[in-house]
Amino acid sequence: KQSSEMQLYCDDLILSETTGICSTCCFLFVHPFVLVLYGFSLAGKFSNPSQLLTGSLLCSLKAAAEIGISANHIKLPNTATEADVLKCIASLNGDPAVHGFIVQLPLDSDKPINTEKITNAVAPEKDVDGLSSINAGKLSRGDLGDCFIPCTPKGCMELIRQTGIQVAGKRAVVVGRSKIVGAPMHDLLLWNHATVTTCHSKTSTLAEEVGKADILVVAAGKAEMVKGEWIKPGAIVIDCGINHVPDSTKASGKRVVGDVAYSTAKEKASYITPVPGGVGPMTVAMLMQVRGQIETAGHLYICLWGMLLLTISTDIEISQSCIPKPIDQVAREVGLLPDEVELYGQTKAKVHLSALKRLKNQPDGKYVVVTGITPTPLGEGKSTTTVGLVQALGAHLHQNVFACVRQPSQGPTFGIKGGAAGGGYCQITPMEEFNLHLTGDIHAITAANNLVAAAVDARIFHELTQTDQALYNRLVPSVSGVRKFSDIQIRRLQKLGINKTDPMALTKEEVNLFVRLDIDPGTITWQRVLDTNDRFLRKITIGQSPTEKGFSRMAQFDITVSSEIMAVLALSDGLDDMKKRLGRMVVASSKRGEPVTTDDLGVTGALAVLMRDAVKPNLMQTLEGTPVFVHAGPFANIAHGNSSVLADKIALKLVGKEGFVVTEAGFGADIGMEKFFNIKCRYSGLRPHVVVLVATVRALKMHGGGPAVTAGVPLPKEYMEENLQLLARGCSNLNKQIQNARMFGVPVVVAVNAFKTDTKAELALVVQMAKEAGAFDAVECTHWAEGGKGAVALAQAVQRASQAPSNFRFLYNVELPVIDKIRLIAQQIYGASDIELLPEAQEKVTLYTKQGFGNLPICMAKTHLSLSHDPEQKGAPAGFILPIRDIRASVGAGFLYPLVGTMSTMPGLPTRPCFYDIDLDPVSGEVNGLF
Rounded average pLDDT over 922-931: 70
Rounded average pLDDT over 723-752: 97
Rounded average pLDDT over 467-474: 96
Q: Is 619 helix (H, G, I), strand (E, B) or coil?
A: strand
Q: Is pLDDT at 7 greater than 70 in this prediction?
A: no
What pLDDT is attached to residue 415? 67
What pLDDT is attached to residue 57? 54
Could you tell me which residue, 271 or 46, shows the higher pLDDT? Answer: 271
Task: Answer yes or no: same fold for 442-611 and 818-899.
Answer: no
Asked if 874 and 866 touch (Cβ cutoff 8 Å), the reply is yes
- Asked which of 127-131, 175-179, 748-752 is least confident by mean pLDDT, the reply is 127-131
% of the chain with per-residue pLDDT over 90: 60
Give 879-911 pLDDT, tens digit per residue. 999 999 999 999 999 999 999 977 788 777 777
What amino acid occupies position 134? I
What pLDDT is attached to residue 730? 96
Gap between the Cα atoms of 82 and 94, Å rounded: 19
Gap between the Cα atoms of 777 and 116, Å rounded: 35
Give 213-242 pLDDT, tens digit per residue. 999 999 988 888 999 899 999 999 999 888
- The pTM for the full model equals 0.69
**Cα-only R_g, the chain:** 34
Rounded average pLDDT over 587-594: 95
What pLDDT is attached to residue 303? 23
Q: Is pLDDT at 477 greater than 80 in this prediction?
A: yes
What pLDDT is attached to residue 70? 66
What pLDDT is attached to residue 422? 82
Gap between the Cα atoms of 450 and 555, Å rounded: 13
% of the chain with per-residue pLDDT over 70: 85
Gap between the Cα atoms of 736 and 371, Å rounded: 13
Q: Is pLDDT at 54 greater than 80 in this prediction?
A: no
What pLDDT is attached to residue 686? 97
Question: Is residue 87 very low, low, confident or very high in pLDDT (cuts 50, 70, 90)?
Answer: confident
What pLDDT is attached to residue 56? 47
Question: Is residue 111 very low, low, confident or very high in pLDDT (cuts 50, 70, 90)?
Answer: low
Q: What is the CATH number of domain 360-438+622-803?
A: 3.40.50.300
Q: Is pLDDT at 427 greater than 80 in this prediction?
A: yes
Give 296-332 pLDDT, tens digit per residue. 222 222 222 222 223 334 777 777 767 788 999 999 9
Q: Is 202 helix (H, G, I), strand (E, B) or coil?
A: coil
Give 765-808 pLDDT, tens digit per residue. 999 999 999 999 999 999 998 899 999 999 999 999 999 988 99
What pLDDT is attached to residue 31? 34
Give 233-291 pLDDT, tens digit per residue. 999 999 988 888 888 877 777 888 888 888 888 888 888 887 766 787 777 666 654 33
Q: Is 540 helix (H, G, I), strand (E, B) or coil?
A: strand
Give 664-678 pLDDT, tens digit per residue. 998 899 999 999 999
Residue 272, beta-bridge partner list = 237
What pLDDT is attached to residue 442? 94
Burial of 488 (0-12, 13-18, 19+ CB in 10 A): middle
Rounded average pLDDT over 179-185: 90
Centroid of chain to Cα 234: 52
- State the CB neighbour count (10 A cutoff) for residue 548: 14
Residues 6+ apart with CB under 8 A from 44: none
Burial of 539 (0-12, 13-18, 19+ CB in 10 A): exposed
Gap between the Cα atoms of 452 and 596, Å rounded: 12
Q: Is 536 helix (H, G, I), strand (E, B) or coil?
A: helix
Q: How far is CA 48 from CA 41, 55, 107, 120, 203, in A?
A: 11, 11, 9, 27, 29
What pLDDT is attached to residue 308? 28
- State the CB neighbour count (10 A cutoff) for residue 438: 20
Rounded average pLDDT over 552-574: 94
Q: At what angle do helices 382-391 and 792-802 cross, to 10 degrees?
A: 80
Burial of 294 (0-12, 13-18, 19+ CB in 10 A): exposed
Q: Is pLDDT at 585 greater than 90 in this prediction?
A: yes
Q: Does CATH number 3.40.50.720 belong to domain 127-298?
A: yes
Q: How far is CA 101 from CA 84, 88, 284, 414, in A?
A: 16, 11, 14, 38
**CATH class entry, domain 442-611:** alpha beta
Element (H, E) at 729: helix 724-742
Per-domain residue ranges of the chain: 127-298, 360-438+622-803, 442-611, 818-899
Give 486-540 pLDDT, tens digit per residue. 999 999 999 999 999 999 999 999 999 999 999 999 999 999 999 888 889 999 9
Rounded average pLDDT over 692-701: 97
Rounded average pLDDT over 426-453: 91
Q: Is pLDDT at 64 greater than 80 in this prediction?
A: no
- State the CB neighbour count (10 A cutoff) for residue 448: 25
Residues 6+ apart with CB under 8 A from 680: 570, 571, 640, 642, 645, 686
Q: How far is CA 526 from CA 87, 233, 555, 563, 857, in A?
A: 63, 86, 9, 9, 20
**Domain 818-899 sits in which CATH superfamily?**
Formyltetrahydrofolate synthetase, domain 3 (3.10.410.10)
Could you tell me which residue, 88 or 79, shows the higher pLDDT? Answer: 88
Question: Is residue 71 very low, low, confident or very high in pLDDT (cuts 50, 70, 90)?
Answer: low
Rounded average pLDDT over 682-701: 97
Question: Is residue 434 very low, low, confident or very high in pLDDT (cuts 50, 70, 90)?
Answer: confident
Question: Is residue 586 very low, low, confident or very high in pLDDT (cuts 50, 70, 90)?
Answer: very high
What pLDDT is attached to residue 295? 28
What amino acid occupies position 159? L
Q: Is pLDDT at 112 greater than 70 in this prediction?
A: no
Q: Is pLDDT at 37 greater than 60 in this prediction?
A: no
Mean pLDDT (the chain, rounded) = 85
Question: Is residue 383 very low, low, confident or very high in pLDDT (cuts 50, 70, 90)?
Answer: very high
Give 853-877 pLDDT, tens digit per residue. 999 999 999 999 999 999 999 999 9
Strands, E assignment, 53-209: 71-76, 100-104, 171-175, 195-199
- Whose CA is closest to 650, among 407, 351, 369? 351
Gap between the Cα atoms of 539 and 528, Å rounded: 11
User: What are the residue numbers of the active site?
Assistant: 382, 384, 406, 417, 636, 667, 755, 784
What pLDDT is attached to residue 790? 94
Residue 794, beta-bridge partner list = none
